[in-house]
Amino acid sequence: MSRSIWMNGTLVAPQDATVSVFDHGLLYGDGCFEGIRVYGGTAFKLRAHVDRMQDSARRIYLEPPCTADELVDAIEQTIEANRIEDGYVRVVYTRGKGSLGLNPFSCDQPSCIIIADTISLYPEAMYRDGMGVIIAKRPRVPIACLDPQIKSLNYLNNILAKVEAIEAGVLEAIMLNCQGNVAECTGDNIFLVKDGVIKTPDTSAGMLHGITRQFVIEEVAPACGWTVEECTIVPEDLFQADEIFLTGTAAEVIGVTGIDASVIGAGVVGPITLRLIEQFHTMVAGELAERT
């Protein structure tokens, strides 16, 4: 099926969805983005994603080319035009066309691009059997250098850590901050379970406060009778954990059964993780039913 791309107010064919070679998004990774899951033709947690998109733009001094309401409408229009039932939306703001210098204010008009398509981040078997990960040697960029709440187009720090994972034969890597504490994975947030207590790194560790992370902390875990402790986590805590799981827009909730050469817990997806996965899908279905 040929997809339609929403670009600056118009739905166009993919081959016509182009940006200038002078766009600072291409030249310098100057822009921001959001990834949004679609269930039953409806964007999940759409307003939260749109609000974060607008916030990312303003944190990099990029005046959003769309209001929040306009962006919501454009995303829904793109999902409908592409007949996406279970899929993914990528929303991108680029700085726009400018000079060959770093000055962002030389760019006259930012661009907005919306892509709706299907997605499969991890093999289905991993949700049943768990996945292996590594701890990347490359640390996260310090908060003082780049605010991790900016979902920037420049993902090179994460990409290079992702390469470490791929070269090790796995699909994800845990990233530490420069203090050696656990921050996040290359594309997911991380949680551990120890003696029945669920823990996750505090945002001060230098990671993005994911929408799915927030959903698990504020809604999914409490619905199961658990609270989540946000605290400092060191690598040794991971190796001693009973269970580990990751959360992300595309990943949803997925268990980790090994780190590097070490087995986590019993080497299977643990009972708390399995319960959270079940509750996640129950609550997604419930929220969807309320909208229809």
Among all residues, which ones are annotated catalytic? 151
CA 86 to chain centre: 17
For 81, other C-beta atoms within 10 Å of its C-beta total 15
Burial class (CB in 10 A: 0-12, 13-18, 19+), 127: middle
Angle between helices 68-81 and 46-59 (to 10 degrees): 130
Six-digit token string for 43: 């964007």
DSSP per residue, 241-271: -SEEEEEETTTEEEEEEEETTEEPTTSS--H
**H or E element that contains 88:** strand 87-94
DSSP state of 61: T
* d(C-alpha 246, C-alpha 254), whole Å: 5
